[in-house]
Structure 1
Amino acid sequence: MMVYETAVLAAAIVVIALLVRRFAPERRARVRRAVFLFLFFLAAFGGAALSGWLDLPDWERNFTALADVLFAINLIAVGGLVVFELFLPAVRITVAAIISDLVMGALYLLALFVVLGNAGLELTGIVTTSAVVTGILALSLQATLSNVIGGMALQLDGSLGVGDWVQLESGKKGRVARIGWRHTVIETNDWDAMIVPNTALLGSTFTILGKRGDKRVNHRMWVYFNVDFRFGPSDVIAVANAAVQSAPIEGMLDDPKPNCVCMNFAQDGRDSMAYYAVRYWITSMAIDDPTNSRVRARLFAALKRAEIPLAVPAAQLWMEEDSQERRDRKRRRRRSRRLDALRALTFLSALDERELDLLADGLSYAPFANGEIVTRQDAIAHYLYIVVEGVVEVRVAHGDVDRLVATIEGPGFVGEMGLMTGAPRRATVVARTDVECFRLDKAAFESVLIARPEMAESISELLAKRTVELEAVVNGLEGGHSSRLENEKTRVLGTIREFFGLDEA
């Protein structure tokens, strides 16, 4: 009896099971299959031993033949595990599951005929009977066999593989999780699994997303929006391009660059708007909806900042009761919001209500989406932003190092040096949440400062303090703040007076 061979086979299965658990845990199902085969072999082996002990020669002969067949099948199963589940994946050779199944099935049949032939059985009748049975099964299982052949075709020609993202004719899309003998499993982003018969895939047109030839590439996404004809395509495209190119968006590739195109004008002469689309390349199809949402938020904020509203469908009619009282109430709310923003500026505390009211007329509403650059280091911009709501980060680039030096939460302000002295921006300011801002320009502030030139003194002191603090953080300076502060205040005051022409006034 095969006691020694049985022990070696059991040890081999245990070692392979440990290796698969360590290096390929997702393939443990095949190990379980080998264990079940081994248990069947042990049962046949035990039946042969028991029959011999009970002196039942016919039963002993039958059980021995069955044990020989199962032993050969177990050897092939163990060899298949070593080759297909451990060795080939280790050398980065991918073999379709159907191919490995066909090879193993052919080897099982070969082992069956060899073992039965050695046992003295006549195989001619078995082969003839098998051919007849196969013909009957082929006629009765045409649909199933069609799916099997379809699965083989999909894997053999390499047109579709596990991990590919596909879009079916129905519009459903998902990732191919498994190509089986009868069907293909496609997992969607909704955490659903679609079971598609292989013949249905072969008989329809489907799109493999993000793949050209045998090479996987990033898929291009489209975000559509409409703007009416009051705004030219060049202006809309410029605003949209700046929105998606100025700062990274999570899930979107920087290269190729995202861009905006004008897709069409009014369709059938019915719609009073132009059709646009932002095109970008996504890092992973698994995050398509969240990335589209972030792109839309960035685009919406940029269009609103540029005072370009999204188009309202021509068929939609807005009706509301209007009156002078209602218009005055809305105007007072807007005015109150602007005045509250101005009062948050500490260097304007000396202004009276009339002067604040004058400045409020010069404020521009400027919202920013999360991740957008509010202002960029070294840019020339003669205005400041009043942060009403939200959080922004102040970052300074020095060589290849980009450092976070401050976080400002509304109410606050940034860009004061550009407004007061005309100096280039000394830092980049990035929105870390959706941010609501008002922009105060030099032209709006100039008339107030000329009328109140003594304000330059207090403003220069504030700007000098923020400049010295920024330099201390960037350069790691300690001590000597008072002398540097006084020198910086003198320098800033002179620059303010020169920039606004206060000496001439």
Structure 2
Amino acid sequence: MSFWSAEAPALTVLALALTVALLRARPHERTVFLNTLWLFLMGIAGQAAAAALAGLDFPGAAHGTQIVFRIVTAVALIRILGFAVFRLLLPLAGKQPPRIIEDLAIMVVYLGYGFVQLRAAGVDLASLVTTSAILTAVIAFAMQDTLGNVLAGLAIQLDNSVQVGDWIKVDELSGRVRDIRWRSTLLETRNWETVVIPNGMLMKSRVAILGRREGAPRQWRRILGFMVDPGVPPARVIATLEDEMRELAIPNVARSPAPSVVLHGFDEGNLRYQLRYWLTDLLEDDSTDSMVRVHLFATLQRAGIRVAEPQRTVHAIQRDEAHAATVRRRELTRRTQMLSSVGLFAGLSDSEKADIAEGLQYAPFARGDVITKQGNAAHWLYLVAFGEAEVLYEPPNGGMPRVIGTIHAGEFFGEMALLTGDARSATVIAKTDVECYRLERASFQELLASRPEIADEVKRVMGTRRTDLEHARQSYAVAGDGSRGARTPNLLGRLRRFFAANP
């Protein structure tokens, strides 16, 4: 009897070649592939040891060793071939069968190999099946939960209702499906937890697949609630927020469908609204909700719309006017300190600063908000109290906007359009979260007329900014286009006339 197979060297080369190909194609699964290869090599080494024992005239030991390690070799080789078919060849052909199908196929081959070996050993398979029927029934009854999970996992894989990578919600638990195995499904939550859900429980529960609709990109609708005083018309609230949110480019917020605002109900004396948007990265739900709320709050503040609190009627004997006066004085002091930090107003007296502070309007902007838009009418001078903003020139032919400057805290902008009466000549966007105060056109022009030194500072700043703006226009100018040359004298003429009238 031969204890060494002549095919062993060829099978070894085949196993090595397939393992190398698998490692190159799927390096993240190297542990599984290498462990199977080591098992195969151990089987080959065991058969070589059986041949050595036969050479030493130990036929009984050689025979037993050869049977055990031949089975080990066959099991490992079948597994390697299964890996090659399901994890190498089929993916190359554009097919990605469920993992449970791979396991079933390998299991069937194992059973087939076992039956062949039993038949070769002279075992009557018919009598074996008959005598083991009772044992099979007992085992099936004892493992009914396990078998139920296995069958449920097979059903999930075959009907493709839940796929690896899907975001699902089971009862109050939500997460991303990492793997569907024989007995259970692994779910990775946003809290960096891996939850093991038995497949039988998954089949019996109500499962919501988040963000998935046939023929549409993966995105999930989020709803943010807020309340506004009923004194503000709902049409104004909805139009203000929808116009602003559709202009913003917030990470992980889908452009289509666009964000929308609806009046959802009435709650404790206020109007209850919902801002609805579509989330594209389901892992970033909380952080994206927070960023959208920041923009929502800043937009409402700029529009002079206060986020409401629950209203209750309280009959008080005396109003606390002293507290209200204290709050007002604190805000005026804050505005006056801000004016002192702006070089344009540093030379004013305290009383002059206080007069200007009375007329300022608070205007916060979240990062990415458009503060002023090129081409829009000008009504305000903006004073930056906190943050930074970028100045962009947008060419009329639709080219890419160009950054022509940065405005820091303690600086101002918007003076050019106020003085000339023209539309805004550039777009200003909040580079960070920005806090501004706005001064009306009439107040600004009155200040220039009464304080010549402020007018001189405005002239200096405007000269620098006008030069930067003209450079940007020249870089976009088309040969033969005379629009720039006509606009510059017109702008200079308007400025000369204004400052001549207010020397």
Structure 1 residue 65: Cα displacement: 3.8
**CA distance in 2: counterparts of 1:316 and 1:167, whole angstroms:** 42
Which deviates further from its counterpart, 116-125 or 251-260? 116-125
In structure 2, the residue corresponding to 1:94 is in which secondary structure? Answer: coil
In structure 1, the residue corresponding to 2:219 is in which secondary structure? Answer: coil
* Equivalence for 1:469: 468
* Equivalence for 2:149: 147
* Equivalence for 1:483: none
In structure 1, the residue corresponding to 2:7 is in which secondary structure? Answer: helix
Structure 1 residue 354: Cα displacement: 4.4
Structure 1 residue 244: Cα displacement: 1.7
**CA distance in 2: counterparts of 1:345 and 1:190, whole angstroms:** 46
Which deviates further from its counterpart, 26-35 or 246-255? 26-35
* Equivalence for 1:226: 227
Sort the Cα spacing of 1:196 and 1:314 in 2 relative to 1 into closer, same or farther, 3 A. farther
1:300 aligns to 2:274 (yes or no): no
Structure 1 residue 8: Cα displacement: 2.8
* Equivalence for 2:113: 111
**CA distance in 2: counterparts of 1:332 and 1:496, whole angstroms:** 37
Structure 1 residue 501: Cα displacement: 11
In structure 2, the residue corresponding to 1:277 is in which secondary structure? Answer: strand
Unaligned ranges ≥5, structure 2: 477-485
Structure 1 residue 396: Cα displacement: 2.2
Quick one: which amino acid aligns to residue 397 of structure 1? E
What does 1:149-298 align with in structure 2 at a 5 Å threshold? 149-170=151-172, 172-213=173-214, 217-266=218-267, 271-298=268-295
Sort the Cα spacing of 1:41 and 1:242 in 2 relative to 1 into closer, same or farther, 3 A. same
- Work out which of the residue numbers 310, 314, 327 in structure 2 matches 1:313: 310
**Residues 59-81 of structure 1: per-residue CA shift (max 9 Å, x gap):** 44444444444443333222212
**CA distance in 2: counterparts of 1:250 and 1:36, whole angstroms:** 47
Structure 1 residue 348: Cα displacement: 4.6
Sort the Cα spacing of 1:432 and 1:327 in 2 relative to 1 into closer, same or farther, 3 A. same
1:7 aligns to 2:9 (yes or no): yes
Unaligned ranges ≥5, structure 1: 478-486
Structure 1 residue 453: Cα displacement: 7.2
Sort the Cα spacing of 1:37 and 1:495 in 2 relative to 1 into closer, same or farther, 3 A. same
- Work out which of the residue numbers 364, 369, 373 in structure 2 matches 1:367: 364
**CA distance in 1: counterparts of 2:134 and 2:40, whole angstroms:** 31
Structure 1 residue 443: Cα displacement: 2.7
Structure 1 residue 99: Cα displacement: 0.6
Structure 1 residue 221: Cα displacement: 1.4
* Equivalence for 1:422: 421
Quick one: which amino acid aligns to residue 231 of structure 2? R
**Residues 85-133 of structure 1: per-residue CA shift (max 9 Å, x gap):** 1112223311111111001100111122223323444333333345443
TM-score (norm 2): 0.87
Sort the Cα spacing of 1:403 and 1:342 in 2 relative to 1 into closer, same or farther, 3 A. same
Which deviates further from its counterpart, 464-473 or 161-170? 464-473
In structure 1, the residue corresponding to 2:394 is in which secondary structure? Answer: strand
**CA distance in 2: counterparts of 1:104 and 1:346, whole angstroms:** 79
* Equivalence for 1:339: 336
Q: Percent identity?
A: 35
Structure 1 residue 350: Cα displacement: 6.1
Sort the Cα spacing of 1:317 and 1:110 in 2 relative to 1 into closer, same or farther, 3 A. farther
* Equivalence for 1:407: 406
C-alpha contact 1:347 1:462 (8 A) present in aligned 2: no
**Residues 26-59 of structure 1: per-residue CA shift (max 9 Å, x gap):** 3334314522541452364145325423534444
Alignment RMSD, CA only?
Answer: 3.3
Quick one: which amino acid aligns to residue 433 of structure 1? T
Quick one: which amino acid aligns to residue 228 of structure 2? V
C-alpha contact 2:380 2:441 (8 A) present in aligned 1: yes
TM-score (norm 1): 0.87
* Equivalence for 2:130: 128
**CA distance in 2: counterparts of 1:49 and 1:244, whole angstroms:** 78
* Equivalence for 2:103: 101
In structure 2, the residue corresponding to 1:425 is in which secondary structure? Answer: coil
Sort the Cα spacing of 1:362 and 1:495 in 2 relative to 1 into closer, same or farther, 3 A. farther
In structure 1, the residue corresponding to 2:224 is in which secondary structure? Answer: strand
In structure 2, the residue corresponding to 1:175 is in which secondary structure? Answer: strand
Which deviates further from its counterpart, 205-214 or 293-302? 205-214
**CA distance in 2: counterparts of 1:33 and 1:442, whole angstroms:** 78
Sort the Cα spacing of 1:201 and 1:369 in 2 relative to 1 into closer, same or farther, 3 A. same
What does 1:58-77 align with in structure 2 at a 5 Å threshold? 58-77=60-79
**CA distance in 2: counterparts of 1:60 and 1:334, whole angstroms:** 96
* Equivalence for 2:483: none
Quick one: which amino acid aligns to residue 441 of structure 2? K
**CA distance in 1: counterparts of 2:319 and 2:38, whole angstroms:** 81
**Residues 426-460 of structure 1: per-residue CA shift (max 9 Å, x gap):** 22211122111001121322333455578656533
Which deviates further from its counterpart, 71-80 or 184-193? 71-80
**CA distance in 1: counterparts of 2:446 and 2:258, whole angstroms:** 43
C-alpha contact 1:382 1:420 (8 A) present in aligned 2: no
Quick one: which amino acid aligns to residue 431 of structure 1? A
Quick one: which amino acid aligns to residue 125 of structure 2? L
Quick one: which amino acid aligns to residue 424 of structure 2? R
Structure 1 residue 282: Cα displacement: 1.4
In structure 1, the residue corresponding to 2:308 is in which secondary structure? Answer: coil
Quick one: which amino acid aligns to residue 204 of structure 1? S
Quick one: which amino acid aligns to residue 408 of structure 2? E
C-alpha contact 2:384 2:435 (8 A) present in aligned 1: yes
Quick one: which amino acid aligns to residue 282 of structure 1? L
Aligned pairs, number: 490
